[in-house]
Amino acid sequence: MSFFLRTNYQIYHATHSPQIFYKYPVQFIFQLASPPFLSIYLTKNQSTRLPGSYSSYSKMASHIVGYPRMGPKRELKFALESFWDGKSSAEDLQNVAADLRSSIWKQMADAGIKYIPSNTFAYYDQVLDTTAMLGAVPARYNWNGGEIGFDTYFSMARGNASVPAMEMTKWFDTNYHYIVPELGPEVKFSYASHKAVTEYKEAKALGVDTVPVLVGPVSYLLLSKPAKGVDKSFSLISLLDKILPIYKEVVAELKAAGASWIQFDEPTLVKDLDSAQLQAFTKAYSDLESSLSGLNVLIETYFADVPAEAFKVLTALKGVTAFGFDLVRGSKTLELIKSGIPSGKYLFAGVVDGRNIWANDLSTSLSLLQSLEGVVGKDKLVVSTSCSLLHTAVDLVNETKLDKEIKSWLAFAAQKVVEVNALAKALSGHKDEDFFSANAAAQASRKSSPRVTNEAVQKAALALKGSDHRRVTNVSARLDAQQKKLNLPILPTTTIGSFPQTVELRRVRREYKAKKIPEEEYVKAIKEEINKVVKLQEELDIDVLVHGEPERNDMVEYFGEQLSGFAFTANGWVQSYGSRCVKPPIIYGDVSRPKPMTVFWSSTAQSMTKRPMKGMLTGPVTILNWSFVRNDQPRFETCYQIALAIKDEVEDLEKAGITVIQIDEAALREGLPLRKSEHAFYLDWAVHSFRITNCGVEDTTQIHTHMCYSNFNDIIHSIINMDADVITIENSRSDEKLLSVFREGVKYGAGIGPGVYDIHSPRIPSTEEIADRINKMLAVLETNILWVNPDCGLKTRKYAEVKPALQYMVAAAKLLRTQLASAK
């Protein structure tokens, strides 16, 4: 509800920059719920009014692919975790979710967006929501039909006391993870979740007409995997005829509810697809054509260029009204659009970046949009985001940590909504000159700022050319030298790095950052926590220890805070999976390491035990891929700069007597381009960056790395080329998919620790189950190279889960050692 009020005040509207305000000499509209997209400042003067949707203009042709679901203050995260812990009811969780959805829809409507998405909210994951919609519940969850409730839904996502969770893997090349559907010829599909229709009706009752969004049927199948026991060669596309009837039911209900548009997300169209896969799109939408009659149908793609053959198939689909393209990461698609988009179709032009936090160059985007008007027609062009804004932070207005200059260079999800609308207005002839001028000033400020460039760093990175930075001795000889020094048993046990972060530990860190407790008290508390973790590992008889990382908030942010060229937010949270959120650093300039970052804590931990203590670092590729990266130079140049900084840290750890150093590259696979033609270039500089970090250490210093939650089989040769001494790698949640590459004959001579249990589930595996996993590994890997470890770090778990799980893990390793010894 809105009402006009004449006032003696002049309004200034702050968008990207808190120090730049825009003046509007009209009248002001007071809202009962002021949208967070706009910050309003009043100064005494005259009667005023806001621009955009607050003005007399009708809503322009603007669209948002999707929006962050966690909330500006992570409201959904806390509601989920409270529900999972039994501290709140399902109704409490549903109320928080409903409030978030309502706020998002109203805010977009108030900001002037015409095509507002619904059904992009999810309690855990949008692909899992589609699995629920299709009733594709694996038999182990004992679902007996009917509408899928929280018990079944969260058991699929997280597992429960008796059965493991479904596999989780990266969503394309992002840091978001989706729950992988498990399908086969025996799956009985049924319409088992009416969420898409319910949320459309919910928005409509609030006065917001939305565009319901569904994961497209073909992409859903292509993103699935054959269920356990199903032949790996099974064609998932063969299930298309079984799922389309359910899509038809959903479409019929949406039409009956009054929907006029529907959005099918088909992002797999940007991948390398064969002819059978491409034909599946033609078949699917031909089959759906009569059901979709009377609806405007948008097929949305994102994250890369659409290949020419896929573009041809896409634009020929029957019953489709509009096509959405990522024109930020898919700039080559522009040429295809200019030469071949069918007449009369809508083009949803994704010119505002949904993957990064830099303010849009509005002038450049407007020029591009104006050129596209000549291709599709003024009335058929819609301004959009490049992909869902799920992958960026929520609202810059909430930021208190960023300085004014850097803040002026940025746009979070809320500000991107404003940018989309500003571009749409400009296209319609209502360009906000003040807004565009302020944007141009911010762009110029960033280009000329002296804090962005460090000539010494650029020279050092340039000097890297001409060397492959390999260690001189081969891995086999190094492992022999390391074993003489470390004297480890066969099947050595270790963990990946982090231990549970308790409420008390987080309180200590928070109060130290807020300067509420002195440094001495903070150091004492962290030392006590490290000592507790060390003693626990010794009691469990783990062979190679970790210090538990109690001083670290996040494996990337912790390092970025100590490197130059990085900036940090207070509330720039982005969903990674489920309730897990990360706060990516912002790399705005050249990167260097002013001083040691981890040596004090690693040395302190090593002094508490005679067992080897791993020094724990995050690798350059992971820091790069888990940050918001500057877009004014190639990514590999930034990565090389980070690699040099980590190299300095590795060498300082070695000098301090740390003999095992782990350099995590959890996100190496994540950055792999979606098109095979671009793989070699990426893998070359990514692997090179890792080798730079440790090329100077002694043979007796053991270099570990860790990778998780991606399909590594297709890059196994690049992993070998990293030349690490030991790699620990996620294996159990993906149902031991990793082991298949070794069954197929790949020889791996370095140490390797495929994870023996899934740490993202509260479920505690038994000794027998872990021993069975180790036996499967021993069937394809040599005994002398195999390590025993969890899938990933233990930060998100509770000690009540961690202690027995690690106890059983060590017991399983000892059991196998005994069996192997007796078999000799």
Question: Which residues carry out catalysis?
Answer: 760
If residue 211 lies in a helix (H) or strand (E), which one and from where to where? strand 210-215
Spatial distance between the Cα atoms of 254 and 248, rounded to a whole number of angstroms: 10
Spatial distance between the Cα atoms of 569 and 584, rounded to a whole number of angstroms: 8
Spatial distance between the Cα atoms of 68 and 214, rounded to a whole number of angstroms: 16
Spatial distance between the Cα atoms of 177 and 124, rounded to a whole number of angstroms: 10
Token pair listed for 173: 């090349």
Task: Judge contact between 469 and 692, C-beta under 8 A.
Answer: yes
CA proximity to 486, closest of 601, 610, 598: 610
Distance of CA 741 to the CA centre of its chain: 26
Token pair listed for 63: 């669209």
Spatial distance between the Cα atoms of 578 and 71, rounded to a whole number of angstroms: 13
Task: Judge contact between 719 and 756, C-beta under 8 A.
Answer: no
If residue 268 lies in a helix (H) or strand (E), which one and from where to where? none
- For residue 421, give every residue at least 6 positions away whose Cβ sits within 8 Å of its Cβ, in sequence order, or none: 52, 53, 60, 62, 111, 112, 113, 383
Spatial distance between the Cα atoms of 581 and 729, rounded to a whole number of angstroms: 22
Token pair listed for 418: 């404003």
Token pair listed for 266: 């088909």
Spatial distance between the Cα atoms of 213 and 130, rounded to a whole number of angstroms: 11
According to DSSP, the residues that pair with 486 across neighbouring strands are: none
CA proximity to 706, closest of 797, 774, 614, 780: 614
Spatial distance between the Cα atoms of 456 and 233, rounded to a whole number of angstroms: 53
CA proximity to 765, closest of 727, 731, 720, 795: 731
Spatial distance between the Cα atoms of 213 and 12, rounded to a whole number of angstroms: 36
Burial (Cβ within 10 Å: 0-12, 13-18, ≥19) of residue 580: middle
- For residue 5, give every residue at least 6 positions away whose Cβ sits within 8 Å of its Cβ, in sequence order, or none: 27, 28, 29, 30
Angle of helix 635-655 relative to helix 679-694, nearest 10 degrees? 20
Q: Among all chains, which residue has been given the structure tokens 């409420």? A: 503
Contacts within 8 Å (CB) and 24+ apart, 252-258 = 252/291, 253/194, 253/197, 254/196, 254/197, 254/200, 254/212, 254/295, 255/294, 255/295, 257/197, 257/200, 257/201, 257/204, 258/204, 258/209
Q: Left, alpha or beta for 334 (phi > 0: left; psi -120 to 50: alpha)? A: alpha
Residues 495, 496, 500, 506: is their CA dihedral positive or negative?
Answer: positive
CA proximity to 352, closest of 13, 67, 121, 577: 67
Spatial distance between the Cα atoms of 759 and 809, rounded to a whole number of angstroms: 12
Token pair listed for 352: 């505002």
Task: Judge contact between 471 and 692, C-beta under 8 A.
Answer: no
Q: What's the DSSP call for residue 164? A: P
In the sheet with 726-729, reading across from the earlier edge strand, the strands are 614-618, 660-664, 702-707, 726-729, 751-754
Spatial distance between the Cα atoms of 196 and 133, rounded to a whole number of angstroms: 9
Angle of helix 150-158 relative to helix 75-84, nearest 10 degrees? 100
Q: Among all chains, which residue has been given the structure tokens 């080798």? A: 691
Spatial distance between the Cα atoms of 789 and 757, rounded to a whole number of angstroms: 8
Spatial distance between the Cα atoms of 363 and 416, rounded to a whole number of angstroms: 15
